[in-house]
Amino acid sequence: MENLYYEPSGKVPFKGLIISLLIGISLTIGLSILYIALQWFIPFIYLNFFIAVGLGFGVTLSLFIAIGAGKIRNTKYAYFLATLCGLLAWYAQWALFVSLLSEANGSIGGGMWVRSSFNLNGFWYIFTHPQLLFQSLITLNEVGTFTLKHAPVTGILLWIVWIIEALIIIFIPILTSSFGKTTIPFSEQNDSWMNSRLFDGKIKTIADKETLIAELKTGNFKTIKDYLTEDNIGDNYATVSIYESPGDPISFLTVTNISHTLDKKGQPQKKQDIVVEYFKTTHSFI
């Protein structure tokens, strides 16, 4: 039976492979530099967790750009690139940190190295000599890289902090790659990503998802057309969007319920619930 939902073709163009690697690696290294710059100049150690999370999601955004530019439609490759860039981000930021320490003037033992300068040769030497980098980590663990209550954090506790940091940086891109750019409909006919178009107006909230999905699977789009004629929807409604490409007879339908409620503080919040995503249809329906 023909698949009724969008599935990536699995294609990895050779040109796209090169493009995605160049963009992914370049942006990842750039973000690693920014990450260390923020940690170096912001003295609040408690912000480091959020900076690490920012790096993880920054790498995710870089992957979205790289996959899109390379026109990659293979989820396994997306996982590979996410793993590569996650590991690279973690490794590159440590190589940069250690290279800055070698040029720094200041105190160790959990102190702040307030004066340093970037040396490309020094960074590259440490980057290409992992044994030197890991030996430096052992030494740094003995003296500490930050303080809590005026005492340097060292030993097992510091290893735990570093492991948590590594998990955040490496696994955020891997975990988020499962719903990245490769899952968005692509027109094989036009060799381009499809454009998303939101239908004008709102439709009635889809209360029975299973019935809608069952009718769509039989090719009956009457339910959607009936909903399109509803008036006086109110604050709770549904939207219909189409992913399409000029001249391509195949398009994909997404229906999303939208509701507006109040949180515990009485503040309005918007909730989105996808009813059906990337359901295959044709322009005859549109």
> Between 46 and 66, where is the model more confident?
66
pTM of the model: 0.83
Q: Are residues 273 and 171 in the same domain?
A: no
Q: Are residues 146 and 33 in the same domain?
A: yes
Report d(CA 259, CA 254) in Å as an integer: 16
Give the per-residue pLDDT at 11: 95
Query: Taking the CA of residue 70 as centre, how many other CA atoms within 13 Å lie in the half-sphere pointing to its CB?
Result: 29
Q: Are residues 120 and 42 in the same domain?
A: yes
Q: Are residues 23 and 154 in the same domain?
A: yes
Domain-located, residue 118: yes
User: 268 phi and psi, to 5 degrees?
Assistant: -65, 140
Read off the pLDDT band of 114 (50, 70, 90): low
Give the per-residue pLDDT at 210: 86
Tell me the residue type at 283: H
Q: Of 121, 153, 183, at which residue does a domain stop? A: 183
pLDDT at 127 over 90: yes
Give me the mean pLDDT over the 61-87 stretch. Answer: 96
Q: Name which of 251, 242, 206 is nearest 224 in CA terms.
A: 206
Residue 115, helix vs strand vs coil? strand
Q: Are residues 81 and 132 in the same domain?
A: yes
Tell me the per-residue pLDDT of 153-204, one tens digit each, with 9 for 90 and over.
889 999 999 999 999 999 999 999 878 899 999 999 999 999 999 877 678 8
- Show the tokens assigned to 12: 């990895």
Domain of 77 in residue numbering reads as: 14-183
Q: Name which of 164, 181, 193, 167 is nearest 81 in CA terms.
A: 181
Q: Are residues 131 and 270 in the same domain?
A: no
Q: Are residues 225 and 177 in the same domain?
A: no
Q: Where are the alpha helices (DSSP H) in 103-154?
A: 120-127, 130-143
Q: How many domains does the chain have?
A: 2
Report d(CA 137, CA 128) in Å as an integer: 15
Q: Are residues 33 and 152 in the same domain?
A: yes
Q: Of 146, 165, 183, at which residue does a domain stop? A: 183
pLDDT at 223 over 70: no
Report d(CA 205, CA 235) in Å as an integer: 10
Q: Are residues 79 and 176 in the same domain?
A: yes
pLDDT at 131 over 90: yes
Tell me the per-residue pLDDT of 133-146, one tens digit each, with 9 for 90 and over.
999 999 988 888 77
Give the per-residue pLDDT at 116: 59
Q: Of 121, 152, 183, at which residue does a domain stop? A: 183
- Most distant pair of Cα atoms in the chain: their distance: 73
Report d(CA 64, CA 74) in Å as an integer: 13
Note whether 181 and 72 are within 8 A (CB): yes
pLDDT at 87 over 80: yes
Give me the mean pLDDT over the 13-22 stretch. Answer: 96
